Structure formats: C-alpha cells, structure tokens
Structure 1
Amino acid sequence: MSENAILPVKVSLTEGDFYTLWAPLWKEHGAEWQAFLGDDDNVLLFRSPEDLLVFLEEGSPHDLTSHPKWKSFESGPATRVVPVEKDYYDVIGAPALLAERPSYVNVSTLARIFRLTRSLGEVTSATETTVFFASHSVLGNVERGYDHFAEDRGMSEWSAIGRAVLTNWSKVVSSLDEQIRIVDVDDARTADAAARIAAAREEVEKKKAETEARRKEEAEQADPYDTTAWTAAGIDPVKISLQGKSVYTLRTYVDRQPVFLGKFGEIYTFNSSKLLLRWMTENDDHDLAKVSTWEDLQLSANAGELEVMVHQDNAYSFTGLVHDIGRGPEAVDTDQMARAYELMADAADWAQDDSLNSYFLANPRMQDYISYMLGAPGTSGYVPSEPFNDHAEGWKELEEMLVKRFSKF
C-alpha cells in the first residue's frame, strides 16, 4: 500500500455492501494522517461505484479535498472509483474467517479487515472499535503473516484472536454503523456513470491486451541465452568444429581482452559439454578462475543447475574452409572465415606468444589474402589469383596452429 494513496474500497457492514474512498496513513508536515470520504459528521458510503462517481463529480464538499494526492486522483479515469478485488473488506464477516484454520488467504484477508476497521474507528472516534484494538494486543499478530501461525503456538494465538472477536465484534460493527451515512444519488446520473465506467474499463482492457501482446512478442523475440547463468557471469561456452571433430571450452573478455579456459597458452578443451561441466566442479587452476564470477558458475555446476548452452555467436565452424579456399574466392563463405579467424586471433592474443604475427611475417601473401577476403584495409591492390592451393595450405597451417593450443582434440 503506497503512501499518499487514495483507494476505492468495498466495505460490508450491517446494512450491506457499500463503496467509499480510503486514504490510509500518510505523512504531511511531520504529522501522520488517515481519512475516509466523509463530511464533518460521518463517513459517506454509496451503494455502487457509479453512485460514488456521481457524488464526486457533483463537487460536493468532503474531507479528502485536502489530501495531497486528491487532484491527481480526481483527474483519473472513471474507473478510479472501482475497487480491485483485494480492496474488498468484509468487516461483518471477520468472525467466519477465524472459525477456519489460519491459511494464507484467511490470515492475509483478516489482516486487511483489521487494518481498515481500526482506521475507520480512529477516523470516526468510534469508541467500541478503538477500545477493542487497544485492549487486545494479540490482534496485531495477524500482520506477521501466515508463517507466524504455522509455528508451535500459532493455533493457540489464532484461537485467542477468535475468542476476542467472538466476544466483541458485534459491538465493533455497531459502533461503526453509527458513524456512516449512506448517500443516495439520482438514478439517471447513475446510469450515465455506469456507461462511462464500462467504457473506461473497456479502454483499460484494450491497453492491457496491447501491452500483453507486446510483451509476448518481445518474449518470443528475446534470446533465451540472455537468461542463462553464463550471461549473468559474462563467461561463455564455446564450441569449435574443425577437421571433422568438435570440442568445447569457455571464454570471456576482461578489459576487451580475451581470456580462455586454460593456462600458459593451452586452451582446455573437452569432447562433450558434460565432460566440461564435470571438470568445472573440481578445478580452478586456470586463468578464468581469476574472474570474479567464476565461483558463481562453479557453484551452479556443483548443484547440478548448470547446462551448457552455446550461443550461435560462440559457435565456430572451420568445416570445408580449406576445400573452399582451394576453389577460389567466390567459393568461400567470408562470414565463416571471419569468425574462424576471430577465434584464432583471440587465442593468439590470450596466449601472448606472437605466433600468429610471426606466421604472417614469414608468409606475407597469406596475410594479404586474408585481408582481401575479409575486406581489411592495407591489401595494397592485392587480388588472389590461380592457383589457390597455396592459400588453402596456408589456412590449413593456421588451423593446425590453433589445434596445437588445445589440451584435447
């Protein structure tokens, strides 16, 4: 219940079900206040939300006009006078709840009824009500929730509340009955208000449906990988398919620099995702263990809650590249080549062994070829020409350099 709120409520008293407005406790100029829709003498009750809306639109004076949020409430749609389900307070029916067991629903419902009843009593100075709550401290325990009554003494306290209510509740309700006034309004205006409330409800439902459809569409378009523990940790499973085999490892970036699962330039690779998870549970002597979120992943793996999901951005396939390079530039999938080269460059950067740069210094035409294929600047007008076998062999050497970094293949 937010501070400064004005709530439409449905209240059941001796003469039936009625509607009014309740402003629960709020603070203003260092003092605490609470109020109901009323005049100098009574709390005003209405037979329907429509009657309540008509009264408010007539501009009749009442106590809530001085509330700090009144102007905001007054400018709301016609549905502002319609209570939600949780704002139904069956005051006269409270004893029936206590005749049953202290379930979650019964305890929470009774707590809300007590809250409104006590507020009504304090605002209207209904003596029997204020004395009842002041004299029975056990009533406050319903605010502790269902769990409190699930403890050893829970049933005895629930019974104590029941006895207090059984003995005094009729006097409490009678004292409130004396402080209310039922307001009747013109039936014609009520009918008009009903039409406007129905139209406003329809508009709310329409917007709700549109919002739900938008959320559903966003959920369908969302990447499921974004909700995994891997995304939360910022460490990604990597799958590498090369020379007819596939291996798994892990990688992250720290200050934009790649860090692989491994040590001293060796990438720890696994032939299956299950082997990778099993290894994670028992090992932390590697470079990724220095990453702050590694322990989170390790705990999840130990609890059996972690599954390897490889995002498409972290799946690298070298399959067929050597053959395609040998056929000529038009046969090569440059996106596939660019991603494969990205992985080789990341591995070399992490290992800090300068092997890739050394290879290109010794084979400058291979560097020109890759720059040309990937559209990198600095090719100096170079254009690949037949035969392309040398380029295919050069790419195969780069693949072999990568494989030598793997712990298993």
Structure 2
Amino acid sequence: MTSRAIIPVKLSLTEGDFYTLWAPTWKEHGAEWQAFLGDEDGLFLFTSPAQLHAFLRSGKRHDLTSHPKWGAFAAQPADLIVPEKKETFDIIGAPALLAGRPSYENVSALGRVLQVTRSLAEVTGADDAVLFFASHSVLGNVQRGADHYGGDHGMGEWSAVGRVVLANWAKVVASLDEQVRVIEVADTEAAESQQLIDDARIRTAEAKAAAEAAEKEAAEQADPYDSSVWGLAGIDPVKITLDGKSVYTLRTYVDGAPVFLGRFGEIFTFPTTRQLARWLVENDEHDMAGLATWETVMTHANAGELDVLVHPDNQYSYQGLVADIGKGPEAVDTAQMSRGYELFADAADWAADDSLNSYLLANPRTQDYLSYMLGSTKTAGYVPSKPYSDHANSWKELEEMLVKRFSKF
C-alpha cells in the first residue's frame, strides 16, 4: 500500500467503477482514525477522476478537510488525483482472485481489496460487511502475504478463505452498494478539471524525461574511478615515471596530510601493479594498515579481485623536465613541474623530515626559481636568467632525494 496519507482510489462495486479519496488509519490526539471523502450523511463517490477533482475545486464542505495532511494533499498537481494501479480495488471481483493459486499477485491483490473493503464497512457502518470481517478471523492472514500460504497447510487455508468469501461476498457487496452516493458535478466543471489533469500529466512527463536525461548525462560524465575500490576507499594508486622507469605505490590523505604505502619514511614502490597487489596480500606492516578504509582494499586483494587502476590525476612524470629547465623558462611545462613538486612536498610531509625545506633554504636561487615558475607572489621583481644549468641541476637533486625514499627503483 502507498505511504501517502490520503489516497485517490478506484472502487469497483455492483453499479460500476467509482472514484473517491481514502485516508487509511492515522493517529490524532492519541486516537486512531480512518475516513473516506464524505460528510455526516455518508460517502462521496464520483464516476471519474475529473468529477472528483472538480468537486474538490468547488470548495464544498467535506470531512477530510480536518485531516492533518489535507493541506499537503490539496497542494499536489492535478494528475495525482488519478489512482495508480495499486490504488484500484475490484471489490466485486474479489472471488476471482481466490479461484487461482495463492501467488504473490493474487494474495497481494486480495489483501488490498479486503483492507479497503473493511475500512469502507467500518467508516460507512455497512452492517453485513462489518459482521463478515468480525466473524472470520481466517481473513486476517491474507495480509501476511503469499509466503503464509507456502507451507504444508497453505493451500488448505487459502481454500478456507475462498469458501468464506464465496459464501458471504454477495451480501458484503450489497451492504456496501447501499452506501453508494454518487455526487453530480457540472459537465463544464468536469471538463475544466480534465484539462488541468491532462496539463499536469504533460508537465509530469516532461519533468520525468528531463530528470532521466540529466541522470543519463551524469552517468555518462561520471568517472568510473569514483566507483572503483580505490575511489570508495579514498586510497589512490600512484605511478611515478623518472629516468625512463616507472614505479607504483599508494597514497591517501588523512585530515589533509599525505600518507604513503610505506614505513619510517620509506615509500614502498613496485615495478608493476601486479607485484604491488601481490605484495599487499602478504604484508601488513606499513602506515596504511591502520586506515579506516584499508579493509575495503584488502577484501578485494584477498579475493584476487584487486585491479590496481591509476587515475590520470595520480600519474607523475618527470621525463624531460631537467633538460627543459636547462633550456629556459619558456621550455618548461609548468603543470608538469607543479605536479612533480607536489610529490616532492607530499613525500617530505609524510616522512616528517625537513629535507625539502632545508634544501630550499640552503639554495635560495632554487627557491626563487620555483616560486617564479609555480606562480608564487613572493617573487615580485625576480626573473630567472642564464645560465639555467644551476636550476636544472637543483631540480635533478630534488628528484634524487625523492628516489632515495623509494624501496625499489
């Protein structure tokens, strides 16, 4: 059953199909209530959703205006006055559901019909229908679903429900028929409401299509890395290429501080991603072992399902940088240099040593050069000048400091 507090429903009785509103059980001031659209004289039924909508637009008095959720219901788009499939109740056709086996569909449909029928009986005071439900406890088990009828005695109990319904249902329906009070609405008003319903349906369909298109576009633009084990764990494989060689390791950030796969300032590096994945299975003495999300990585590693995927943002290449620095500032790819310096700084921060800062303090020309090349505002008035070989040699020394941190290269 829908979770909405007030539900448009379609009820099939002897005289045909009717539309109204149903408010299943709700609590107010410590008491339980249930209601249908109507007044002190009885239930209001309509021959179409448009007729029902037109009545509501008229502002005529009815009992549901006192429902705590009435304001929210009344503010809904007009197309929501049309019952959904599960809000359609074939009361007169209930015995047909019992002619078949207790499938999920049959039991579910019968359970919903019995629920709304019992509510109708109690709200309208249909005596024969009220007595029917009060006298046959076997009906209550229908609400438990199809699984209840799956045991050894399931078919027997389902047949018992069938016998009770077949013997009494005509009287139940007749007692409800006596409560039918069809409310007439002017054709012009119903036509206006139908137009409002149609317009709302178009807007709903357009909004749904737009949402689906946006969802599809977002899915197409989404980076698959984000849903990988690495994206979920927040731990990234890193590829470092230098002097024609590449090594792989892992890095993450905890409260903004870098953490590498390694220990005591040594970064554990591997020539292939396969060797890295294999090593993780057999070793747990490293700084990442205590991370909250490390278990996510190891679950895949132990299952042999760990694909060490390096995102382009985590690929660092130092290839050609020393030579370019020697040619002059215009030859240097500053994005490549910036990323390379980022890795120098991360490695030094993680190792908790002052080697990088000490080197720059001891080599102020290098510090000024890097500040100039990387866009720092601290170098106002400074411009690199020939020879550039000193800057190239200093960068080479920084690369060598990084390599010394590697376990293998």
Report the Cα offset of residue 207 of structure 1.
2.7
Write the distance in 1 (CA, Å) between the matches of 2:333 and 2:323: 11
Residue 74 of structure 1 corresponds to which residue in structure 2? 74
State the match for 2:321 in structure 1. 321
Which residue in the other structure is 1:176 paired with? 176
Are residues 157 and 309 of structure 1, via their aligned partners in 2, closer, same or farther at CA, if it must alter by over 3 Å?
Answer: farther
Letter in 2 for 1:67: H
Moved more, 339-348 or 9-18: 9-18
Report the Cα offset of residue 119 of structure 1. 1.4
2:407 is paired with a residue of what secondary structure? coil
Distance 1:187 1:292, change over 3 A: same
What do residues 135-176 of structure 1 show as CA deviations (whole Å, max 9, x unaligned)? 444434444445555566655554444444344333332332
Aligned partner of 1:62 in structure 2 is 62
Find the aligned partners of 2:100 and 2:271 in 1 and give their Cα distance: 60
Which residue in 2 is equivalent to 1:209? Answer: 209
Number of the residue aligned with 2:191: 191
Residue matched to 1:408? 408
Give the Cα separation in 1 of the matches to 2:93 and 2:398.
81
Cα distance in 2, alignment partners of residues 393 and 77 from structure 1: 72
Deviation readout 1:176-232 (Å, 9 max, x if unpaired): 222222333333332332222212222222233333333334444444433344333
Name the CA distance, whole Å, in 1 between partners of 2:216 and 2:377. 44
Distance (Å, rounded) in 2 between the aligned partners of 1:152 and 1:318 = 73
Q: Separation in 2 of the partners of 1:404 and 1:152?
A: 73
Superposed CA deviations along residues 42-68 of structure 1, whole A, max 9, x for unmatched, are 322211111112222333332222222
1:232-243 equivalence runs, <5 A: 232-243=232-243
Q: What is the CA–CA distance in structure 2 between the aligned matches of 1:131 and 1:372, rounded to whole Å?
A: 91
Instruction: Compute the displacement of 1:381 (Å).
Output: 4.5
Cα distance change, pair 92–307 in 1 and its aligned pair in 2 (3 A): farther
3-state SS of the aligned residue for 2:319? coil
Change (3 A) 1:322 1:172: farther
Higher alpha-carbon deviation: 205-214 or 147-156: 147-156
- Counterparts of 2:317 and 2:196, CA distance in 1: 63
Shift of 1:362: 4.2
What whole-Å deviation, never above 9, does each CA across 1:261-307 have from its counterpart, x for those lacking one?
11111212233334333433443221111111211322243345654
* Residue 334 of structure 1: how far off its partner (Å): 0.7
Distance 1:186 1:151, change over 3 A: same
Residues 115 and 345 of structure 1: CA distance in aligned 2, closer, same or farther (over 3 Å): same
Q: What is the alpha-carbon distance in structure 1 between the residues aligned to residue 242 and residue 113 of structure 2?
A: 69
For the structure 1 residues 209 and 263, does the alpha-carbon distance in structure 2 shift closer, same or farther, using more than 3 Å as the test?
Answer: same
RMSD of aligned Cα (Å): 2.8
Report the AA paired with residue 20 of structure 1.
T
User: Is the contact made by 1:4 and 1:69 (CA closer than 8 Å) also made in structure 2?
Assistant: no
Aligned pair in 2 of structure 1 residues 166, 260: CA closer, same or farther (>3 Å)? farther
Match of 1:268 in 2: 268
Residues 70 and 381 from structure 1, CA distance in 2 versus in 1: closer, same or farther, beyond 3 angstroms? closer
What corresponds to 1:225 in structure 2?
225
Which structure 1 residue ranges, 5 or more long, are not aligned?
A: none
Count of residues in Structure 1 that have an aligned counterpart in Structure 2 = 409
Alpha-carbon separation, structure 2, partners of 1:131 and 1:304:
65
The match for 1:53 is 53
Indicate the larger mover: 398-407 or 297-306.
297-306
Letter in 2 for 1:58: S
In the alignment, which residue of structure 2 is the partner of 1:372? 372
SS of 1:110's equivalent in the other structure is helix
Deviation at 1:399, TM superposition (A): 1.8
Any residues of structure 2 matched to 1:155-174 within 5 Å, and which?
Answer: 155-174=155-174
8 A contact 1:19–1:47 mirrored in 2: yes
1:244–1:7: structure 2 CA closer, same or farther, 3 Å change rule? same
* 1:23 lines up with 2:23 in the alignment: yes
**Could you tell me how far 1:380 is from its partner in structure 2?**
7.2
Measure, in 2, the Cα distance between the counterparts of 1:242 and 1:210: 48
Cα shift at 1:2? 7.3
Q: What's the secondary structure of 1:183's corresponding residue?
A: coil
- The AA in structure 1 aligned to 2:63 is D
Separation in 2 of the partners of 1:158 and 1:322? Answer: 84
Q: Is the 8 A contact 1:23 1:34 kept in 2?
A: yes
Under a length normalisation based on structure 1, what TM-score does the superposition of the two structures give?
0.88
Q: Report the counterpart of residue 244 of structure 1 in structure 2.
A: 244
Distance in 2, Cα, partners of 1:184 & 1:149: 44
In the alignment, residue 132 of structure 2 is paired with which amino acid? F
TM-score (norm 2): 0.88
* Structure 1 residue 117 displacement after superposition: 1.9
Change (3 A) 1:94 1:343: farther
State the secondary structure of the residue aligned to 1:290. coil
Other-structure match for 2:344: 344
Moved more, 15-24 or 312-321: 312-321
For 2:350, the aligned partner's letter is W
Match of residue 308 from structure 2: 308
Identity of aligned residues (%): 66
For residue 17 of structure 1, report the CA deviation from its aligned partner: 1.8
